[in-house]
Structure 1
């Protein structure tokens, strides 16, 4: 019987300048998984991040102020490089493009990587990046088309933690939602590409027993609320704000929506599968890669509210389809997006010989 091979990676440094969102959640999740495998880690982050204490359970956290001043920038990079060297890291992993400008120069015994969870926006700050990691093939495809060497570009996707059995679903009554309602849930930043407006418009065309929980915050929040007012669905569209842990809300919902226009991955698809929900999405790059239409989710054209509404109606009208999508999502999550597989992929890459 096959057994797990011991981790080759022993010491890893992270640089992460993010605030609070899906990338940050996965960062903490990966750090925890690596720590459980015996990898020592240090992380350089901005001060007062809301996930700082959770991250500190898994690695040594170094809070720093990342100045844009030309002189201070060189001092900060030198300080980071010195601390990484003293720590003895054999790899440094930057998270998203803003971290690239703070990566130390690679040296014998220490390689540098940059992980992207969104589209590349140019390589002008990538001078110290040896290899790119994208969490979808489309991200890497775009990077290669822009001129990044294919031999130094790799795909490693995300994983999600199983929901703890003791997490109780939120009470629907606490959010003015009837107990017998069917709840559609969508999570993310209220920005254009997330298309919260499509959910509001879909609700207007669905039975009155269908409600929507919209979780998040952002620049288009008030505009989306105004849309709900104009369509007369304020009693069925509930704005629940940003939630650090959406698990109790997912456990209380019925259908996960991912109606985005430009989604590199669609981590909420994984979250929906993880919570045992059928997933209804639009065919942006990430969901199209994750979802086998009709097997573990339903896909419709981006921006087409009628097609999105029709997909939702299909799930509402067929318990057989709903169960099939849930089972399909669970199977794909276990087969391709498990913690074990993703951690092994990082271990192989971060300890592999450098390609020219």
Structure 2
């Protein structure tokens, strides 16, 4: 990409903890840095990805407060540092960042990037423009009253996996080498519906295992479900992984079973790892996936449909290859780094 961005300066405000949104934040800021954009980021203390971010970004750790008075002081201090840095734009990440955005001016524009649906604009007073990573997020924002001419759709991208990336050793995670491994990633919360995978396991051959990568409030409930259905030995809770790539490379099928998924970064990550993807037809996966060509879609909450789709992929090498090849082309055509960076550099940096 030939865009000259060596004189551009961008400030980020990111209050997230650890997850798909944070992985994309690191990915985007790193890509912008490689194109010469100087960046400063305001984050909470103790984030596990802080040092990785600091490799290409000036990191300022801030103790954000719920106190109304302290919020004004903290926002003033952030604004002062952004002005001193000379940022030409500030990019807030998700709605919580809107509370801390500086006022825009003739020399500094403000953007808020949404990876989930907005729940109102009460704290958006200093936000000039919205960026959503799916058309549905933008559609809902405009329907709620946000001006359409100040809303932009820019989707995510994923980094190609290193050619020499080594997969994890299945035996290290109690999984037979000959098993068919289903992999799912995310927070163990109700809307992610990891229970569907466990229920599907009960109806699939004993050679099928599931790797559930993540953590959350439903961990104990999911473990109890696996025990009740007699699939504990085939359900592997692998915790939150900073880099899931070696696990993806060692798996066979990626499953995204969510009832509510604005985008579905995991779909892109599955495609990127060369895996066939099966997802429930929530908002993001329905937009990303062309059924039968780049993945398979089943109805939300439909265990039998999920089992049928899994059996279809496991029983047909031609279908598996068709999905993998179709996904690879879609990823290259629509979700490459260059494609996404052109859009961001055109309006933000």
1:252 positional shift: 0.3
Corresponding residue number in structure 2 for 1:4 = 2
Residue in 2 aligned with 1:193? 191
Kept after mapping to 2: 8 A contact 1:8/1:347: no
- TM-score of the pair, normalised by structure 1: 0.97
SS in structure 2 of the partner of residue 219 of structure 1: coil
**Are 1:99 and 2:97 matched, yes or no?**
yes
1:271 partner SS: helix
Cα distance in 2, alignment partners of residues 33 and 5 from structure 1: 13
1:249-280 Cα distance to aligned partner (Å, 9 max, x none):
00000000001100000000000000000000
In structure 1, the partner of 2:238 is: 240
Instruction: For residue 165 of structure 1, report the CA deviation from its aligned partner.
Output: 2.0
Match of 1:252 in 2: 250
Gap regions ≥5 residues in structure 2: none
Q: Note the C-alpha offset of 1:235.
A: 1.2
- Structure 1 stretches lacking a partner, 5+ long: 352-356
Match of 1:31 in 2: 29
Distance in structure 1 (CA, Å) of the matches to 2:7 and 2:145 = 29
Instruction: Tell me if the contact between 1:135 and 1:158 (Cα under 8 Å) persists in the aligned partners.
Output: yes
Q: 2:179 aligns with which of 165, 178, 181?
A: 181
| 1:120 match | 118
**Aligned pair 1:271/2:269, yes or no?**
yes
Asked whether the 8 Å contact 2:6–2:36 carries over to 1, the reply is no
2:81 matched residue in structure 1: 83
The answer for the alignment partner of 1:325 in structure 2 is 323
State the number of aligned residues.
Answer: 349
Q: Distance in 1 between matches of 2:240 and 2:348?
A: 34
Q: Contact 1:9–1:350 at 8 Å: present in 2 too?
A: no
Find the aligned partners of 2:341 and 2:300 in 1 and give their Cα distance. Answer: 32
SS of 1:178 mapped into structure 2: coil
Asked if 1 retains the 8 angstrom alpha-carbon contact of 2:182 and 2:253, the reply is yes
Q: Which moved more, 1:124-133 or 1:235-244?
A: 235-244
1:222 aligns with 2:220: yes
Counterpart contact for 1:190–1:218, Cα < 8 Å: yes
Alignment of 1:135-214 (within 5 A): 135-214=133-212
**How far apart are residue 9 of structure 1 and its match?**
6.5
- Structure 2 SS opposite 1:132: strand
CA distance in 2, matches of 1:123, 1:89: 24
Distance 1:4 1:295 in 2: 33
Deviation at 1:69, TM superposition (A): 1.1
Partner residue, 1:335: 333
CA drift at 1:8: 7.5
What secondary structure, in the 3-state scheme, does the structure 1 residue paired with 2:102 have? coil
1:7 is displaced (CA, Å) by 3.0
- Matched residues in 1 for 2:221 and 2:164: separation? 37
Of the structure 1 ranges 263-272 and 232-241, higher mean CA displacement relative to structure 2 is found in 232-241
Residue deviations 1:163-212 (CA, integer Å, cap 9, x gap): 11222111111111111000000000000111100000001111111111
Equivalent-residue separation in structure 2 for 1:167 and 1:79 (angstroms): 43
Q: What residue is the counterpart of 1:354 in the other structure?
A: none
Compute the TM-score of the two structures, normalised by the length of structure 2.
Answer: 0.99
CA deviation digits over 1:299-328, x for unaligned, max 9?
010000000110111100100000110011
SS in 2 for 1:24: helix
Give the Cα–Cα distance (whole angstroms) in 1 for the partners of residues 329 and 175 of structure 2: 31
Task: State the distance in 2 between where 1:195 and 1:158 align.
Answer: 23
